[in-house]
Structure 1
């Protein structure tokens, strides 16, 4: 009888271990699928309704052809499992000042998107560098939600300092580009001199969590997505060495030391307008913020071009980054 009970105990222990291993193996498989899907353009388009214009280079190609001061630039990353080509356009303003603004586009766009912002900075005496994020436009790779993009931005800053001899560098990002700007402000060991973000999210986890919950049509009290999310972040850490929790602009700005301007539209339905106040409150650096009335996601420059210009000009003048007053 004792031998039978011992064998039964061993059997149930083995069954329990097998069940745990099976559950975790299945969780990791599904979690890895979810992580890979987060980098899938189609999933992001379904979740956000953003149209994929990442490969439409018509505007930037035309601009480079028509403007002799616009120079296409390519850098090669020395990190990761293989070298990646990063592509940008440097626009020389023929200014006596050695200062450049890096403009960073949104999700599934390319550097063409930022052409709308070029004249603002040219009027304020800046050279301009438009960049394609990895996996967008002419840049290689896939999006990693800031893990490798921070180092990519570091490379562009080094290029400006060492090759173009620029003495002052600012970064202006829109939507996803704004989030990467804020991540860079708090996580880079060599931050830029100032940052401007327009329509950034505060925490990508929360943004995707809500959209995924609705898309999969799970009950509000369901824990299925909670469990899958944990496994997806384990897989993300395995692939990239980080998680979306660590890549939150809300956390990054708490470590920023560079003056930062926060912009948002009050009619933004993709990223809630209260995100502006959350980011602003958590930032420990010199800061300013501005809400554009009735403006939708990342459309303030089109809705209120004069107001947009003046807000940026005032921020730069007040922080002594430009002396132009008109």
Structure 2
């Protein structure tokens, strides 16, 4: 009788654990991957930026600049039949230079106008700002965190190369999730027009990022919850959390990469950028900005940021 009771207890405990893991997988998938509002980030201390940065984000001159431009809306059908959309702006004078600016998680294409104005007015580039799948006017009911987006980016590059000509020289410049996107793309066979990559505040892999945030925000271990969530993500969104890996991609990179990160970033630790830099196969540079939190480097030291980008591209 005692053995039977113990077996019942063990069976009950195992059942509870399994149910918890399954329920947790669906909960965190809906929380992070499924398209929709993400209230859990509201008030997150790791995303707190300086008053100066917030003023620029909300009321900066770049917003007026974006509103004043006559962007061409370009659509593209992805390999898995999503309607993707982006904004193209030709340079003021004819040029063979093009920058593709990729935005962060929960952002949208026009938010990259903060950087687009710099490329347009000071560097004389054509600019293109795509909405990642699941964001803005692009289709998709999930967020790719850079992995499916890397292939979309390459397809955008080919489409724009056909539009602007074979001699076009392309720069990728991404922020946060957009930075992970351009780094993940670096491990693929890129179109020969791609000449350099700039990654501002990147993470290494989606699994590592989630493990860090799971511990920091919910005080939970990564295993086995993230592994189960990864299976669900693969079934619903077509990718696993571990395969979405920028670190392995940069080990195959063939174009120069400039890494930019804030030294005070607690949402995506600065160490992630340092390790990416150390493991990059191609020519690379690292620019760290004092007192800058996540995605804050451009505002906190704008002149140094611009000088670093200019010298890197030259």
- Alignment TM-score, normalising by the size of structure 1: 0.77
1:313 aligns with 2:307: no
Q: Is the 8 A contact 2:146 2:177 kept in 1?
A: no
Q: In structure 2, the residue corresponding to 1:197 is in which secondary structure?
A: strand
Larger radius of gyration: 1
- Please state how far the C-alpha of 1:48 moved relative to its aligned partner: 7.3
- RMSD between aligned residues: 3.4
Q: Is the 8 A contact 1:266 1:291 kept in 2?
A: yes
CA distance in 1, matches of 2:265, 2:138: 29
CA distance in 2, matches of 1:250, 1:48: 26
Q: Is the 8 A contact 1:169 1:194 kept in 2?
A: yes
1:74 aligns with 2:75: yes
- Please state how far the C-alpha of 1:25 moved relative to its aligned partner: 7.2
Displaced runs of 4+ in structure 1, greater than 6 A? Answer: 16-23, 46-49, 59-62
- Identify the match of residue 195 of structure 1 among 197, 203, 213: 197
2:52 counterpart residue number: none
2:87 counterpart residue number: 89
1:136 aligns with 2:130: no
- Please state how far the C-alpha of 1:179 moved relative to its aligned partner: 0.9
1:180 counterpart residue number: 181
- Please state how far the C-alpha of 1:105 moved relative to its aligned partner: 1.2
Q: Is the 8 A contact 1:261 1:289 kept in 2?
A: yes
- Please state how far the C-alpha of 1:121 moved relative to its aligned partner: 1.7
- Identify the match of residue 254 of structure 1 among 241, 251, 256: 251
Pair 296,64 (structure 1): closer, same or farther in 2 beyond 3 Å: closer
Pair 264,23 (structure 1): closer, same or farther in 2 beyond 3 Å: closer
- Please state how far the C-alpha of 1:36 moved relative to its aligned partner: 3.4
- Please state how far the C-alpha of 1:49 moved relative to its aligned partner: 6.2
Q: In structure 1, the residue corresponding to 2:129 is in which secondary structure?
A: strand
**Stretch moving more, 193-202 or 142-151:** 142-151
Q: In structure 2, the residue corresponding to 1:119 is in which secondary structure?
A: helix
CA distance in 1, matches of 2:278, 2:143: 28
Q: Is the 8 A contact 1:47 1:212 kept in 2?
A: no
- Identify the match of residue 209 of structure 1 among 186, 211, 214: 211
Q: Is the 8 A contact 2:99 2:126 kept in 1?
A: yes
1:286 aligns with 2:314: no
1:7 counterpart residue number: none
CA distance in 2, matches of 1:146, 1:233: 15
CA distance in 2, matches of 1:137, 1:188: 28
- Identify the match of residue 238 of structure 1 among 235, 239, 242: 235
Q: In structure 1, the residue corresponding to 2:287 is in which secondary structure?
A: strand
Q: Is the 8 A contact 2:233 2:239 kept in 1?
A: yes
1:126 counterpart residue number: 125
Pair 187,36 (structure 1): closer, same or farther in 2 beyond 3 Å: farther
1:152 counterpart residue number: 152
Pair 165,60 (structure 1): closer, same or farther in 2 beyond 3 Å: farther
CA distance in 2, matches of 1:165, 1:21: 60
Query: Which runs of 5 or more residues in structure 1 are unaligned?
Result: 1-12, 318-326
Q: In structure 2, the residue corresponding to 1:171 is in which secondary structure?
A: strand
CA distance in 2, matches of 1:313, 1:274: 25
Query: Which runs of 5 or more residues in structure 2 are unaligned?
Result: 1-6, 49-57
1:36 counterpart residue number: 30
CA distance in 2, matches of 1:114, 1:34: 28
